[in-house]
Amino acid sequence: MLSVSGLTVRYGSVTAVSDVDLSIGDGEVLALLGPSGCGKSTLLRAVAGLEPAEGTVCWDGADLADVPVHRRGFGLVFQDGQLFPHRDVAGNVAFGLRMQGRKSPERVAELLTLVGLAGYESRRVTSLSGGEQQRVALARALAPRPRLLLLDEPLSALDRSMREQLAMDLATLLRAAGTTAMVVTHDHDEAFTLADRVAVMNAGRVNQTGDPAEVWRRPVDEETARFLGCTTFLPGRVANGVLTCEFGAIPLAAPDGAVHVGLRPTALRPAPAGVAGKVTGRVHRHDHVRLVVDAGRAVDAVAEVTNAPSVGDEVTLTLDETGVAIIGP
Ligand code: ADP
Ligand code: MG
């Protein structure tokens, strides 16, 4: 198990990572999620031993301060694969095995099957698509059986459809291989697809760690909620398992009392009855239409692609519980 405590990385006057505590249990996949520039890569590099840091990085209780990168037993996968262009696929995957003094065509074949590239041994890596190259990078990192796999935005360089497919494949194969992993990403969908647990980072600090569904429904503060897609904030009240706010009421299992509510655009939808407003903005997204509605104040809403209202239309909005978050520790 990995345990990180008080980890701090400074670059001159910039504190890129600030007093981070984090642990990853055996076989667990932790997603480190946060906006660009918040310190995710720096934290990953410090764990790998690539970046000098204050604080401690331990594996099974043993401090790794004096253990160099290549002796930590950690595997690394970066955004752009960083494959060896002059070696074929098998040569890339076998690299880590050769470093261990092992030569195992069977292990290479096994890994290529795991990542969905069976039979690709003699292909040139330069002839592969971006997604295939990332699969090779993953196979190469997994081949020496690392005790921890560190992935830094492994899917960010791929186009959307490829990214979604590979995220699902990656989730399946990390579980199949029982891999302990830390995946760095700025993309919520990716984090929630891959992770057993999510750590949300901002400005060098980890603000919240928890079960993905819990973090999604219960962001710890407004900053975290904004990063997780909330755009409207308002007071609400819970009584007898029902949350009531100015846009309506939904069931919510929470103690009675006042709450701070965050709404994602998906929390508000045009319906036959509800809070009245006028559409002031409209953008077609891939599978829905995103609206801005003046309902006393500007709020975001979503509509189905078919029959979506136009700018200038009067609408009534109702609350959809899937987009509602309750903010607070
Ligand atoms: P993320 O991966 O979340 O996008 P990074 O860890 O790359 O963020 O960067 C965190 C902060 O540290 C940024 O402000 C970045 O400019 C700074 N930083 C990263 N690497 C260096 C470096 N080698 N020298 C100076 N500043 C750096
Ligand atoms: Mg980064």
- Measure the CA–CA gap between 24 and 124, rounded to whole angstroms: 36
Question: Which ligand sits nearest to residue 14's alpha carbon?
Answer: 1
- Looking at residue 228, its pLDDT comes to 94
Q: Which of 8, 14, 187 to mutate to test the pocket of ligand 1 (most atoms within 8 A of CB)?
A: 14
- Measure the CA–CA gap between 167 and 39, rounded to whole angstroms: 22
- Looking at residue 160, its pLDDT comes to 83
User: Would you say the CB of residue 39 lies under 6 angstroms from ligand 1?
Assistant: yes
The phi and psi torsions of 324 (rounded to 5 degrees) equal -95, 135
Q: Which two tokens stand for residue 278?
A: 């006028």
Beta strands 205-210 and 54-59 are unpaired
Q: What angle do CA 204, 41, 3 make, to 5 degrees?
A: 75
Using the structure block, give the residue that is written with the tokens 């965050």.
262
Q: Which two tokens stand for residue 74?
A: 């950690």
Quick one: CA torsion of 186, 191, 194, 197, rounded to 10 degrees? Answer: 130
Question: 233-270 pLDDT, tens per residue?
Answer: 999 999 999 999 999 999 998 899 999 999 999 999 99
Q: What angle do CA 235, 293, 265 make, to 5 degrees?
A: 60
38 CA → ligand 1 middle, Å? 8
User: Would you say the CB of residue 315 lies under 6 angstroms from ligand 1?
Assistant: no
Ligand 1 atom with least separation from CA of 34: 3
The phi and psi torsions of 188 (rounded to 5 degrees) equal -60, -45
DSSP state of 127: G
Beta strands 181-185 and 148-152 are parallel
Q: Which two tokens stand for residue 24?
A: 């990853």
- Measure the CA–CA gap between 185 and 91, rounded to whole angstroms: 28
> Residues of the chain whose pLDDT is less than 50?
none
- Measure the CA–CA gap between 90 and 123, rounded to whole angstroms: 8
Nearest by Cα to 305 from 289, 317, 290, 318: 289
- Looking at residue 105, its pLDDT comes to 87
Ligand 1 atom with least separation from CA of 45: 6
- Looking at residue 295, its pLDDT comes to 95
Global confidence as pTM: 0.90
- Looking at residue 102, its pLDDT comes to 75
- Looking at residue 270, its pLDDT comes to 96
3-state secondary structure of 52: coil
- Measure the CA–CA gap between 111 and 37, rounded to whole angstroms: 33
Question: Which ligand sits nearest to residue 47's alpha carbon?
Answer: 1
40 CA → ligand 2 middle, Å? 6
Please tell me the residue having the least CA distance from ligand 1 atom 11. 16
- Looking at residue 80, its pLDDT comes to 85
From residue 250, give the alpha-carbon distance in Å to each of 247, 274, 322: 10, 13, 10
16 CA → ligand 1 middle, Å? 6
